[in-house]
A and B are shown apart, each in its own frame.
Chain A
């Protein structure tokens, strides 16, 4: 049991009273609460955790934290789990991923034997002939080598990952000494603070430090925890900084969700992520047993795991030196302690499953099972990049530093310089004070200068100057590569030799090199490898690191699960106030855009017939409805519709068509003038949202001088169309205050009145079905009452509700087109047969130049009514109209139905102008390959072209 577990360490985070059983590749193991998957396995003597992507080389612990590229494992149905940071849970089924047949023996390791032929980008240079083999064989083999774990899409389900919004004055990214100092000082200054720490506990590098470090940590953590103004989130990562300090925080191991996205609007962002230790490039640097100094210190001090027995240490800094002390305390023999500052070096590590021999810079070869590297740091400047900063390389300190930050982003801690713990805390405190001051000034400003201002909370805080003493930039040797070549990108299996080759082939800028070799493109996203890659390029091109630049860090800083990003999508299906009634009465649901609607109530043909013979009612609430008020509404209508609006009297309704800037028909609907400065505009159901946005866009950007107020009332008004020869008789029983006689209330007029006792309903006379019909817009709270009253009072008149399908039949019989069905993204206004509706002499209308040009053309297709010569055949909508027996396209059927009124099939279609004349014969190619003949009709309307019925 746990052969590598050390006696109790002072700072250890494991609970030795617990024993958590789990499996690794099917074999039983145990660990303690507080262990990571990796620490538990390392304690049990496991050296090899994974195989590398391309060459399938054995890989072991390198950084022992979240960024460790060698510790990606599969846990149950979850792929790519970071064993370096994932806490152990009893019952976990952990396995190596991307190995075949197993971790111990992987066939793919044969790639190492032919590795010399598989240099970077080798696949671009071969597999080209014969051509068919690429498709049928080569590509399939390459795809087998795709790295990563297995996604179990068959059994996994999308969990409920709820999101949270937060509005801290100061958000601190990083809970090390500087970050904690910043949080405390900001809270003391009166700011609300959110402190986000990536690891499961606060403390940063103090956690694996000495007794003094632990004492300071205890004090700081106590101060943080006890301050009511600080919310601490551990095991959480700030993954992105977007405009105006919109901050994404990923909270892991939350009690109710595996991951939770917190979206925070922070007044100030303090970036205090510390430093990430950088690997060193030499031959065999990816052999299991080669670890960074931070890894061995974490293993020993946090989890009491002995990382090896005989160690060679290469150190260039105090942290590396501290690792030697920790190793000695853990009983590890130091075979060689090499000082990189004095030019000592490691050239090569030999060994397969574990370090065996180490070739030193002085030519000696020593035997060891552990190589510890402490050769420098990478500044994780990701959040600073996202804030627009371009960090600059400092050769003296051998790392990048922040350059220019916006006022609401401040950096502190190791990312800005070196110092004692006290100096780091002090710099953090000064940064926190400054961050709080800026945030509080901003908050004061916002609250006292916006329209909904509360009374200001006293005077605005005095602006503080940035008087922080900079942290020192301690000189550090530039240790990137030994005299040998080794791995640079561990997740992508890209070596320094690959980078040199790429540079010589012409990929000699950092971005081109990245794209060719895939260096920095793997899950590490550059955190470990980007600086080494830049260093190799600088070396190859004999340039300064400063001039090389780096690849751009982009969000997220740490990968985020799709489930957490998605949350529960807020795209509810819209239901009219009557939808429950429809469903209770057997309506068959139809998803139409955002809405669910009754397609029919059992027999659409009977419903359609009943409208022609008696009276029917249909719920047309999804029609977009915009309430327009103000003295300039007419100008707006003139701008967006192709027809005229100036002479629309109060009480009248007019049909309007819109075109986009390219002259293509984009929407239509009727608009009624309810009062001098008051209109109700309707749009297509699918266009409702877009037209509203478009009107606002024009009013806010193009004509802000126009006084128009737009209110969307689509859901607020329930719209009921009452249609059929007996509909007037029905409404006479229910409507008060409106004279419904044909002379007093003719076609295309609007009135306001009381319907079934509900006052202020809007009633207009229009007709999509071709019958006498009234559309009643009822405040939705009363919709059900009005609907049921209509049904109750119409019983003796033969009333029936009808659905979308019957409406489609009826409108097609009447020849009314539907924008988006009978017109399309290419249909310009003349094609739709708008004729005299379009006024080309208006001063300004959307798409006017295009309309003028379109009307000068003679080659545009024309929308016509078509009847098949065989009345029984109903062509499919989208069937093509062709030129006789050829494949030349001359049009298509856009709508088709069997007409119950005529007892034959009826169609609308777009045809070439040569076929548009009444009586023209067209050839329709059916989907089954048959070609049938049809005849173009004189009118769009198959039924009642004179409009006798609707004008009754």
Chain B
């Protein structure tokens, strides 16, 4: 808990309203020091959470979080903010359930309302094979103590009345996996919550500071980079910073940054597109996901429908977005809810996803001493942000990979021990 920070409360809101006094900054714009104990590259959810848990759980406060833009400008601010824990494998369930726990108490822990809306999460089944997979997930989840069950079309209609559950549609809804604890969170607030709490504990957020190189010595590659070496710091657009530990939390740019340390990653970067409609009075109470139709949709408290889809098939760093995405999206949304054809699409955007061959992250220590990675989160980095930060902090503080992330270390690609949450993750959000 950010104990020595300025505490938010209803009382403070009233006092500021009466006095019209300024609120203190949520985080400072500090001058960079010449050295830190840990430099975290990437001021998104994962980087900030790692910084916060390092400071809060492990007492390490001489930390800089470096970002080439503004805080939360990458995937943290571009995702569709869905959280759930109804995964397929016991490992996946354990990991995401911890994340859901952290989200659940985040408003109190960080003293900032991240508006976690535990509204229920429906994964629709349009084929009997999809329904079979839903049954499987439900049975696994039940045994893990996760609230998750298969419901029939009539119950689906009760949970989300605007869905067309009639049998004569192109993609009839045969049932759904219903996961009441799933929901949506105000994604930006999560970023700000961690940034503010980390700042209160002394962490430096260095925005508009681009990392140009990772400085190493002793490695087998050029400039002392690569296996067998160790990290000495980073070169940034605002000068060199020395540090014995450097953490890569840069999602879509992860492989480019990692090359700077001589640690190639088996990651390709793909855009994932999303879109939002104009607001309408709230009519959709739950999160609705359809794997067959490649769409997930929820309605924000502001009345907008937020849509996401699957990653674009071709790797690129461009985030322009395509017309075809909006056409297919609209077509599929109207397959599910034909009555909303008069809602208007307001805005489309893309984020960059760092995809690994086994749809699982790459976390922990690497072959370069002091260089840590928390990357490869692909399309579900947001759900995992809190627990990733917590376990990465433990890994950095102890120098040893935390138990929960042991299956995700980089060595699995050379030892041929890929993880594979694909069965669950590919189903979507």
A506:B422 contact, CB within 8 angstroms = no
Which positions 558-574 of chain A face chain B at CB distance < 8 Å?
559-563, 565-567, 569, 571, 573
Take A98-B281, A878-B139 as given contacts and tell me if A569 and B170 are in contact as well, using a CB distance cutoff of 8 Å.
yes
In the assembled complex, the CB of B331 is this many whole angstroms from the nearest CB of chain A, namely 4
In the assembled complex, the CB of B299 is this many whole angstroms from the nearest CB of chain A, namely 8
In the bound complex, residues from chain B placing their C-beta under 8 Å from that of A850 are 416, 418
A146:B113 contact, CB within 8 angstroms = no
Q: How many residues of B contact A (CB 8 A)?
A: 111
List the A residue with the shortest CB-CB distance to B89.
A826
In the bound complex, residues from chain A placing their C-beta under 8 Å from that of B326 are 555-556, 560, 565
B172 at the interface (CB under 8 A from A): yes
- Distance of A151 Cα from B144 Cα, bound (Å): 39
A504:B25 contact, CB within 8 angstroms = yes
How many cross-chain pairs have Cβ atoms below 8 Å apart between A and B?
A: 305
B27 at the interface (CB under 8 A from A): yes
- Distance of A50 Cα from B343 Cα, bound (Å): 19
A156 at the interface (CB under 8 A from B): yes
In the bound complex, residues from chain A placing their C-beta under 8 Å from that of B347 are 525, 554-556
B59 at the interface (CB under 8 A from A): no
A556:B345 contact, CB within 8 angstroms = yes
- Distance of A123 Cα from B9 Cα, bound (Å): 10
A77 at the interface (CB under 8 A from B): yes
Residue among A148, A153, A567, A892 making CB contact with B331, cutoff 8 Å: A567
B278:A663 contact, CB within 8 angstroms = no
In the bound complex, residues from chain A placing their C-beta under 8 Å from that of B90 are 889
A880:B344 contact, CB within 8 angstroms = no
A78:B342 contact, CB within 8 angstroms = yes
B344:A505 contact, CB within 8 angstroms = no
A134 at the interface (CB under 8 A from B): yes
A80:B192 contact, CB within 8 angstroms = no
A592 at the interface (CB under 8 A from B): yes
A77, A150, A565: residue with the most chain B Cβ atoms closer than 10 Å: A565
Instruction: Pick out which of these stretches binds chain A: B65-73, B233-241, B244-252.
Output: B65-73
- Distance of A686 Cα from B345 Cα, bound (Å): 32
In the assembled complex, the CB of B151 is this many whole angstroms from the nearest CB of chain A, namely 13
A562:B330 contact, CB within 8 angstroms = yes
In the assembled complex, the CB of B198 is this many whole angstroms from the nearest CB of chain A, namely 13
In the assembled complex, the CB of A525 is this many whole angstroms from the nearest CB of chain B, namely 6
A125:B341 contact, CB within 8 angstroms = no
Which positions 513-570 of chain A face chain B at CB distance < 8 Å?
515-516, 518, 522-523, 525, 554-556, 559-563, 565-567, 569
Residue among A80, A114, A125, A892 making CB contact with B12, cutoff 8 Å: A125
Take A554-B347, A662-B418 as given contacts and tell me if A263 and B323 are in contact as well, using a CB distance cutoff of 8 Å.
yes
In the assembled complex, the CB of B265 is this many whole angstroms from the nearest CB of chain A, namely 15
A562:B70 contact, CB within 8 angstroms = no
Instruction: Pick out which of these stretches binds chain A: B14-22, B94-102, B380-388, B396-404.
Output: B14-22
Take A119-B17, A139-B301 as given contacts and tell me if A555 and B348 are in contact as well, using a CB distance cutoff of 8 Å.
yes
B115 at the interface (CB under 8 A from A): yes
B136:A555 contact, CB within 8 angstroms = no
In the assembled complex, the CB of B207 is this many whole angstroms from the nearest CB of chain A, namely 7
- Distance of A80 Cα from B304 Cα, bound (Å): 12
In the assembled complex, the CB of B316 is this many whole angstroms from the nearest CB of chain A, namely 11
In the bound complex, residues from chain A placing their C-beta under 8 Å from that of B357 are 661-662
Taken residue by residue from 252 to 293, chain A's Cβ proximity to chain B (1 for < 8 Å, 0 otherwise) reads as 000000000101000000000000000000000000000000
Instruction: Pick out which of these stretches binds chain B: A176-184, A345-353, A609-617, A817-825.
Output: A817-825
Taken residue by residue from 121 to 146, chain A's Cβ proximity to chain B (1 for < 8 Å, 0 otherwise) reads as 01111111101001100010011101
A506:B17 contact, CB within 8 angstroms = no
Take A569-B332, A825-B423, A879-B139 as given contacts and tell me if A154 and B339 are in contact as well, using a CB distance cutoff of 8 Å.
yes
A79 at the interface (CB under 8 A from B): yes
B283:A240 contact, CB within 8 angstroms = no
A151:B333 contact, CB within 8 angstroms = no
List the A residue with the shortest CB-CB distance to B416.
A853
In the bound complex, residues from chain B placing their C-beta under 8 Å from that of A880 are 139-140, 143
Residue among B9, B283, B323 making CB contact with A125, cutoff 8 Å: B9
Q: How many residues of A contact B (CB 8 A)?
A: 108
B420:A664 contact, CB within 8 angstroms = yes
A248 at the interface (CB under 8 A from B): yes
In the bound complex, residues from chain A placing their C-beta under 8 Å from that of B107 are 128, 131, 134
B281:A158 contact, CB within 8 angstroms = no
In the bound complex, residues from chain B placing their C-beta under 8 Å from that of A143 are 282, 301
Take A77-B342, A80-B344, A853-B415 as given contacts and tell me if A151 and B280 are in contact as well, using a CB distance cutoff of 8 Å.
yes
In the bound complex, residues from chain B placing their C-beta under 8 Å from that of A507 are 26
A882 at the interface (CB under 8 A from B): yes
A152 at the interface (CB under 8 A from B): yes
A159 at the interface (CB under 8 A from B): yes
List the A residue with the shortest CB-CB distance to B10.
A126
In the bound complex, residues from chain B placing their C-beta under 8 Å from that of A571 are 170, 331
B127:A511 contact, CB within 8 angstroms = no
Residue among A505, A567, A590, A878 making CB contact with B23, cutoff 8 Å: A505
- Distance of A155 Cα from B118 Cα, bound (Å): 29
In the assembled complex, the CB of B406 is this many whole angstroms from the nearest CB of chain A, namely 15
Which positions 1-48 of chain B face chain A at CB distance < 8 Å?
8-10, 12-14, 16-18, 20, 22-29
In the bound complex, residues from chain A placing their C-beta under 8 Å from that of B158 are none
B77 at the interface (CB under 8 A from A): yes
A151:B139 contact, CB within 8 angstroms = no
A852 at the interface (CB under 8 A from B): yes
A849 at the interface (CB under 8 A from B): yes
Which positions 82-133 of chain B face chain A at CB distance < 8 Å?
88-90, 105, 107-108, 111-118, 126-129, 132-133
A586 at the interface (CB under 8 A from B): no
B227 at the interface (CB under 8 A from A): no
Take A123-B115, A125-B12, A128-B111 as given contacts and tell me if A562 and B333 are in contact as well, using a CB distance cutoff of 8 Å.
yes
A452 at the interface (CB under 8 A from B): no
B280:A117 contact, CB within 8 angstroms = no
In the bound complex, residues from chain B placing their C-beta under 8 Å from that of A877 are 132, 135
- Distance of A821 Cα from B172 Cα, bound (Å): 20
List the A residue with the shortest CB-CB distance to B341.
A563
- Distance of A386 Cα from B26 Cα, bound (Å): 33
List the B residue with the shortest CB-CB distance to A139.
B117
A154, A518, A878, A887: residue with the most chain B Cβ atoms closer than 10 Å: A878
A146:B282 contact, CB within 8 angstroms = yes
B279 at the interface (CB under 8 A from A): yes
- Distance of A561 Cα from B330 Cα, bound (Å): 9
In the bound complex, residues from chain B placing their C-beta under 8 Å from that of A825 are 88, 420, 422-424, 426
A149 at the interface (CB under 8 A from B): yes
A157 at the interface (CB under 8 A from B): yes
In the A-B complex, the 3 residue pairs with the smallest Cβ-Cβ separation, listed nearest first, are A853-B416, A825-B423, A153-B339
Q: What are some 17 contacts across the A-B interface (CB < 8 A)?
A: A80-B280, A116-B18, A128-B8, A139-B301, A157-B341, A504-B23, A554-B321, A559-B345, A562-B330, A565-B345, A567-B331, A569-B328, A662-B418, A850-B418, A852-B416, A878-B135, A927-B135
Extra contacts, 5 of them, besides A131-B107, A156-B340 (Cβ < 8 A), are A151-B281, A506-B25, A559-B277, A662-B420, A821-B132
